[in-house]
Structure 1
């Protein structure tokens, strides 16, 4: 990020994590040239991608969202994660080009309907799928999890020199026992090792929030506070 890149602040909107709060984001100019080159430095400063936008929460009354990342070289798998790998030993994992397919979209819709029913997201059409999960400038790949020919999950993954970003994972809601969200992150850690990148960025950590609890199990986890990355206590 440099002083030649414009940053915009969004208008206040309902927080996606706490319905009673309002939120604002700092957004990198979506029309800036060479967003692909800006992506790595933006990740390192705590930004995250949603569709074609790079954003960072910038709320005046709340600092609950804290960027977090896994130190790939130092990562130590725990017992529960080993069990997750064992449960999913029958799956194949393939790196695929990003984008819309009817098979992926059908799985995405099933996942959203199970996880976000009635919230508006569960009505995502083909355009919504493409707009949210990919961007023309983004170095994205889809990690597909399959049992035989059946698609069970997709980990949407961005690759940058600064690290790998776990953008979004969706999976078959009938396969809860497999812990495919955890499985996806473990596969992204392995991908980062193969590609020689130092971190897996997991977006934001919110202390005490039930939807964020899984992130603290990927150790060592670093969080960004006061302009620098520090180990999570």
Structure 2
């Protein structure tokens, strides 16, 4: 399901994020399932309650590891520097992704209907990582992180999550939405890195946010798959 947009005010973005929607190109979409070569998996949308976030040893260690890098946040404008970094990143990944930043964010166009910012991480003058996020009235949504593969030991994708979270904290925002994880497919579990205790998971059946736990995700996944099986059986009979 998707919602076509001409312009989206911040409070509208907050509302749709709160209903389990997310940005894709210049639209908002939601989904309950992710088909992969290995099977059909359930998706579970996440958000962090910013006021409840606390850091443990792993997060503090990552801040120390990267403390020599400079960080800046600015309004997003597509530049050759960003595209060049994204191209290096794209060549290094082992999963399907948009071939360019323009394609991912703007669908090849020039107009952006979202209030979008970018977090830059630089080693001296060199841009080594960047994270794009959209701003609502009371929340931010992390859209994409990309980085120079030569700096892989610095865990810059996770570092950018922490930087976005700190930005939300400084702005006194309520929520940070990092996207979804996938039941039974650990590739997306990194989205719990910042603070699992402050993370909530969206229940698509009740439209409520619940404190994250794997038990809650397991229950939701079982219910979604059972409902899908019932629908498939009903279609067969009809």
Q: Does 1:83 align with 2:58?
A: no
Q: Does 1:49 align with 2:23?
A: yes
**2-side partners of 1:182 and 1:174: how far apart?**
16
TM-score by length of 1: 0.79
**Structure 1 residue ranges (4+ consecutive) displaced by more than 4 angstroms after TM superposition:** 58-63, 132-135
- Kindly report the root-mean-square deviation, in angstroms, between the aligned alpha carbons of the 2 structures: 2.4
Gaps of 5+ in 1: 1-25
Compared CA separation, residues 163 and 84, structure 1 to 2 (3 A): same
Q: Which has the higher helix share?
A: 2
**Distance apart, 1:30 and its partner CA:** 2.9
**What is the aligned counterpart of 1:40 among 14, 18, 26?**
14
Contact 2:23 2:29 in 1 (8 A): yes
- Partner SS state of residue 196, structure 1: coil
- Partner SS state of residue 52, structure 2: coil
Per-residue CA deviation, residues 37-73 of structure 1 (Å, 9 max, x unaligned), is 4212101111111220100015599671111011111
Q: Does 1:138 align with 2:111?
A: no
Structure 2 counterpart of 1:4:
none
Contact 1:96 1:141 in 2 (8 A): yes
Count of residue pairs the alignment pairs up: 203
**1-side partners of 2:159 and 2:133: how far apart?**
13
**Distance apart, 1:130 and its partner CA:** 5.0
- Partner SS state of residue 73, structure 1: helix
**1-side partners of 2:140 and 2:102: how far apart?**
25
Highest Rg: 1 or 2? 2
Q: Does 1:169 align with 2:145?
A: yes
Structure 1 counterpart of 2:211:
231
**Distance apart, 1:212 and its partner CA:** 1.1
Aligned residue runs from structure 1 range 1-233, under 5 A: 26-31=1-6, 34-37=7-10, 38-59=12-33, 64-116=42-94, 119=96, 121-122=98-99, 124=100, 127-128=102-103, 131=106, 136-217=112-193, 218-219=195-196, 220-225=198-203, 226-233=206-213
Contact 2:34 2:42 in 1 (8 A): no
